[in-house]
Homo-oligomer: A and B are copies of this chain.
Amino acid sequence: MKAIQPTINHHIPTTRGLPRPIRSQHELLFDTHRSLKTPNPATRLAQSLTHMLHLQIESIHTQKTITQSNFSSILEDKSNTPISSPKEDISDIWQELHGSNDWDTLLDPLHPSLKQELLKYGEFAQATYDAFDFDHYSEYCGSCKYNRNKLFEKLGLTRHGYNVTKYIYATSQIDLPQWLEKSQVAETWSMHSNWMGYIGVSDDEESKRIGRRDIVVAWRGTVSASEWYEDFQRNLERFGHGDAKVEEGFLSIYTTKLQSSRYNKTSASEQVMKELARLIHLYKKRGEKVSLTITGHSLGGALALLNAYEAAATFANLPVNVISFAAPRVGNSGFRDELHELGVKTLRVVVKQDIVPWTPGMVFNEKLINEKLQNFDEITGGLEWVYTHAGVELKLDARSSPYLKRGLQLLGHHMLETYLHLLDGYESSKVPFRKDARRDIALVNKECDMLINEFRIPPRWYQAANKGLVQNAHGRWVKPKRDPEDIPSPNNESVSYNEMKHVLGY
């Protein structure tokens, strides 16, 4: 039987050899389920664009395969080793690792202790996805599945030696379609807010190892690359008192408060800044050295930068470090310059093949191409000056890992777990992926389909048994009530006085 070849009925003028049919960005990113053996028009377009933008994406046909025989031994070795190396005392060099010298000489080759720290913060950012309730049939959709005292235990992150002190919620005053995860159930925990991250602090033992009390803020990104990627092509808004301007969508999520809401009577910014003030005051009073590390992936990386700007402007002499993964551009050159003047140290971890760090400013959605732009210089050149990246870049190459599928993987190249895998295997730009990389490779496939088939790890495997349904006493499959202690409550989101001693080492 002849294969049916769909054609697309929207065409754009042929300019500079650009393939003619074009599809929406959303379709592009979610095409990962399809076979890529025969490039469809969307794939061809994306390939052409990425070529133009010097994104290094190989054809799927050039994939080097791992043979079954040598693969079995790799698999055997991997599954019988711990998932991380022993921790080392970094109390003497924490300032350098925290960016005091802009990571000069630490990135290529990558300092092993810096790598461990980056993986730690990356896992803190990943926790915001892993614990998020994406179930649209749940009345708690958009909240964290666990209360903050359980979060790290549930996700296997207690080994990092941090405690969560507060959850952050956000809303937005401007209409950002598909930003907010909303329950389809009428009587929901919140109509307006989503869990957007958390604040944590290193415990005594970890503080000793890392040479200071470290406060971490982890910001959640959006589920998929495409959502805000399409939507956040908006105006710049003034931020602070100088020339700094930032993208209005990011700013709205960071600063919107809504009196009618339960979780955002204060904005995400106010929630974070209040908790930071409390924690900094607490530990400074005790004479401790304190640092602030803000992390986030994708949209979360953008929010981290806004948060860092505000914190550095508010708390004098506080070392502020942003570790972002796959973050988009956030603001103009004024914003970049002020961040620099405020002493914010930003390390942006970026995968070469990921398109998101090119946004906003690198726009190739259908509407803009059709209506506004006649050639791509206007995209790559024309908008570049508006949005500017801040800080130092650590660039990773998806092709370096022998365990990843090749070819166009728009979603897979953007996922944080892919970033962490590549970071784990990275030693320098000159040597191959390290053989003794210890992080669990199976994690890469949590939410995408990036591992080569030899691993036998199913794609998108991170899921609850029976999508959370359980059998009740009558044998019926029902959605269980959430454990009362995990039900969000606007009055129970930060550490109480009674908990202080235990959680904060007070």
Q: Which of B156, B440, B453 lies in contact with A184, CB distance below 8 A?
A: B453
Instruction: Tell me the A1-27 residues at the B interface (CB within 8 Å).
Output: 1-2, 4-10, 23-24, 27
Asked whether A137 is an interface residue with its Cβ less than 8 Å from the other chain, the reply is yes
Interchain CA distance A476-B81 in the complex, whole Å: 9
Interchain CA distance A6-B59 in the complex, whole Å: 26
CB neighbours (8 Å) of A178 from chain B are none
Whose C-beta in chain B lies nearest to the C-beta of A22?
Answer: B4
Asked whether A78 is an interface residue with its Cβ less than 8 Å from the other chain, the reply is yes
Interchain CA distance A27-B471 in the complex, whole Å: 34
Additional pairs, 12, CB under 8 Å, beyond known A4-B9, A442-B476, A461-B477: A4-B27, A6-B6, A6-B9, A78-B476, A79-B472, A79-B476, A79-B478, A82-B475, A137-B458, A184-B456, A458-B469, A461-B467
Known: A135-B458, A186-B68, A456-B137. A23 touches B4 (CB 8 A): yes
Task: Give a binary string over A436-478; 1 marks a CB under 8 Å from any B CB, 0 the rest.
Answer: 0000101100000000010011101111111111011011111
CB neighbours (8 Å) of A477 from chain B are 440, 442-443, 457, 461
CB neighbours (8 Å) of A156 from chain B are 471, 475
CB neighbours (8 Å) of A472 from chain B are 79
Interchain CA distance A442-B478 in the complex, whole Å: 8
Asked whether A93 is an interface residue with its Cβ less than 8 Å from the other chain, the reply is no
Report whether A8 and B4 are in contact in the complex, using a CB–CB cutoff of 8 Å: yes
Whose C-beta in chain B lies nearest to the C-beta of A476?
Answer: B440
CB neighbours (8 Å) of A82 from chain B are 474-475
Known: A5-B9, A83-B476, A474-B79. A463 touches B462 (CB 8 A): no
Whose C-beta in chain B lies nearest to the C-beta of A184?
Answer: B453
Asked whether A491 is an interface residue with its Cβ less than 8 Å from the other chain, the reply is no
Q: Which of B7, B10, B137, B458 lies in contact with A467, CB distance below 8 A?
A: B458
CB neighbours (8 Å) of A278 from chain B are none
Q: Which of B1, B78, B464 lies in contact with A465, CB distance below 8 A?
A: B464
Report whether A7 and B9 are in contact in the complex, using a CB–CB cutoff of 8 Å: yes
Instruction: Write 8 A-B pairs (CB below 8 A) sorted by A numbering.
Output: A1-B365, A1-B367, A2-B367, A6-B9, A79-B472, A83-B474, A442-B478, A456-B479
Taking the closest CB of chain B, its distance from the CB of A25, in whole angstroms, is: 10
Chain A residues near B (Cβ < 8 Å): 1-2, 4-10, 23-24, 27, 68, 78-83, 135, 137-138, 156, 184-186, 365-367, 440, 442-443, 453, 456-458, 460-469, 471-472, 474-479
Report whether A466 and B463 are in contact in the complex, using a CB–CB cutoff of 8 Å: yes
CB neighbours (8 Å) of A83 from chain B are 474-476
Taking the closest CB of chain B, its distance from the CB of A488, in whole angstroms, is: 18
Whose C-beta in chain B lies nearest to the C-beta of A439?
Answer: B476
Report whether B461 and A466 are in contact in the complex, using a CB–CB cutoff of 8 Å: yes
Q: Which of B1, B367, B458, B463 lies in contact with A24, CB distance below 8 A?
A: B1
Report whether A466 and B462 are in contact in the complex, using a CB–CB cutoff of 8 Å: yes
Taking the closest CB of chain B, its distance from the CB of A437, in whole angstroms, is: 13
Interchain CA distance A462-B477 in the complex, whole Å: 11
Report whether B7 and A7 are in contact in the complex, using a CB–CB cutoff of 8 Å: yes
CB neighbours (8 Å) of A471 from chain B are 156
CB neighbours (8 Å) of A6 from chain B are 6-9
CB neighbours (8 Å) of A443 from chain B are 477
Interchain CA distance A460-B467 in the complex, whole Å: 8
Whose C-beta in chain B lies nearest to the C-beta of A461?
Answer: B467
Interchain CA distance A184-B78 in the complex, whole Å: 21
Interchain CA distance A68-B81 in the complex, whole Å: 53
Report whether B185 and A456 are in contact in the complex, using a CB–CB cutoff of 8 Å: yes
Interchain CA distance A446-B378 in the complex, whole Å: 50
CB neighbours (8 Å) of A453 from chain B are 137, 184
Give the 4 A-B residue pairs with the shortest CB-CB distance, closest first.
A465-B465, A442-B477, A461-B467, A458-B467
Whose C-beta in chain B lies nearest to the C-beta of A81?
Answer: B474
CB neighbours (8 Å) of A458 from chain B are 135, 137, 467-469
Taking the closest CB of chain B, its distance from the CB of A450, in whole angstroms, is: 14
